[in-house]
Every structure is written in structure tokens, then in C-alpha cells.
Amino acid sequence: MEFCDECGSMMKAGEGEDHWVCTACGFEKGRNEQEEAAMVTTQGQEASEIIDVSDAEDKGLPTTTVHCPECGNDSAYWYMQQIRSADESETRFFVCTECEHKWREDDH
């Protein structure tokens, strides 16, 4: 993918594909095969480079001491998320480190 030096829009390969043409302003520039070969593309990425961390023990979230209403465990991962209007506080979500029960805590 190439972006226009003049307006910043995305460019496409022109006729004969030896140059780039801007889709917005029509600016043209030549293609450089060496630079393009060095670019990382989604087609060029191997599946082995993707690491699945969905079952990771710590889930990448901080933990806190809080009582799980489902199993009684005293440790949970937590995160905050804005689910209501912007003038209201965020909602705290907890996920039990033992049974993975999920619950939320709202400020009132």
C-alpha cells in the first residue's frame, strides 16, 4: 500500500502497474520494487507468528482481592469499561481467577 505525497490518500497501481496513482488527486509516482519487497503485508505473515494468549493464566489483566459471589474465591482479574454516558463513571468488571465467573460493580 502506498499513500500520496500530495494529499495523503491511498494510491493504487496504475496501468501496467509500473507506477502509483492517487485515487483522490491523480498524483503519480514510480514504483520501487526493492522498497515494496521489504514491506510487511498481511498476506506475507505466517500463521505461526500469531500467538494465542486467550488461555494464558494471567489474561494480561491486573488482579485484586475481592470475594467471588459464585465460588467464594478471594482473587479476581479486573478491568474498567465505559458503558454508560460519558458524564457517568466507568463500570468495574471482575473475573474470578478460580471459576472465571464474571460480575460487575457500578458506582452509585
Q: Which bin fits 58, alpha (ψ -120 to 50), beta or left (φ > 0)?
A: alpha
Q: Which residues are annotated as a binding site?
A: 4, 7, 22, 25, 68, 71, 96, 99
Instruction: Domain of residue 72: give its range.
Output: 63-105
Residues 11-47 pLDDT 10s: 888 777 788 888 889 888 888 777 777 776 665 555 5
Question: What letter does residue 97 receive in the DSSP assignment?
Answer: T
Could you tell me the pTM of the whole model?
A: 0.44
Q: Which amino acid is at 45?
A: Q
Radius of gyration for the alpha carbons in the chain, expressed in angstroms and rounded: 25
In total, how many domains does the chain have? Answer: 2
Residue 101 lies in a domain: yes
In 10 A of CB 7, how many CB atoms? 13
Q: Which residues are annotated as a binding site for Zn(2+)?
A: 4, 7, 22, 25, 68, 71, 96, 99
| Domain harbouring 100, CATH code | 2.20.25.10
Residue 57 lies in a domain: no
Q: What angle do CA 77, 80, 84 make, to 5 degrees?
A: 145
> Coil, strand or helix: which one is 2?
strand
Residues 65-78 pLDDT 10s: 999 999 999 999 98
